[in-house]
Amino acid sequence: QSVLTQPPSVSAAPGQKVTISCSGSSSNIENSYVSWYQQLPGTAPKLLIYDNNKRPSGIPDRFSGSKSGTSATLGITGLQTGDEADYYCGTWDSSLSVGVFGGGTKLTVL
Amino acid sequence: QVTLKESGPALVKPTQTLTLTCTFSGFSLSSSGMRVSWIRQPPGKALEWLARIDWDDDKFYSTSLKTRLTISKDTSKNQVVLTMTNMDPVDTATYYCARGTTTVTPGFDYWGQGTLVTVSS
């Protein structure tokens, strides 16, 4: 059972927009930065968003992140078939001093 | 260019101790703000954070696995080692090492390719 809660799956058509939610608590999301990762089939996770809403170099601005209270959201616009992947949120739990992840969300681009 | 690579046995027997090595390049774990974590992923399941070691030798462990894990670093070799005792079939997973920095913390900006460890007699 993952500490952070994500929907198991989301889907949308090519070109459309999708959001993925990540719910936590005051000891993790509310008091720490949230990161988002994309994991394509058979590959290692890749950092998409850090510090709640910053994109590493090379990540297109179709990907965005936001945080409010104990929840965070990943947004993806202009969906492409190549965006089909599992997406994970992660952060630090300051009460337990441990890293935590969400259960992952499988994105299907119909 | 930052790279990380995990190495270790592909198969371990139940009750044995697993030793994994993360060999990295492109950064030094003696530089302020650098940190390396171990993360695992059972087949078809979610990511699970295991442990972290920082440039100043601070160490952090998963609450549920704390008694079984030990993380250490050898800065001269650019390696981080994770040992996990008393392995069980439920520990079958791909094990990743990943880098964190003060810029992206608590995120991980570079990941190894992962190494699949199967626990079976």
Q: How many CB pairs under 8 A join A and B?
A: 68
pLDDT computed for residue B104 by the predictor: 84
How would you write the pLDDT of chain A (110 residues) with one tens digit per residue? 889 999 999 999 999 999 999 999 999 999 999 999 999 999 999 999 999 999 999 999 999 999 999 999 999 999 999 999 999 999 999 999 999 999 999 999 98
CB atoms within 10 A of CB A44: 21
pLDDT computed for residue B99 by the predictor: 97
Distance to chain B for A47, nearest Cα, Å:
6
- List the Cα angle B78/B79/B85 in 5-degree steps: 170
CA A9 – CA A22 distance, rounded (Å): 12
DSSP B92-112: -EEEEEEEE-TTTTTS-SEE-
Nearest to A6 by CA among A40, A27, A29, A33: A29
What residues in A contact B95, CB-CB < 8 Å? none
Q: What are B48's strand-pairing partners?
A: B40
- Residue in chain A closest to B53 (alpha carbons) equals A98
pLDDT computed for residue A57 by the predictor: 94
pLDDT computed for residue B102 by the predictor: 84
pLDDT digits (tens, 9 = 90+) for B9-19: 999 999 999 99
pLDDT computed for residue A7 by the predictor: 97
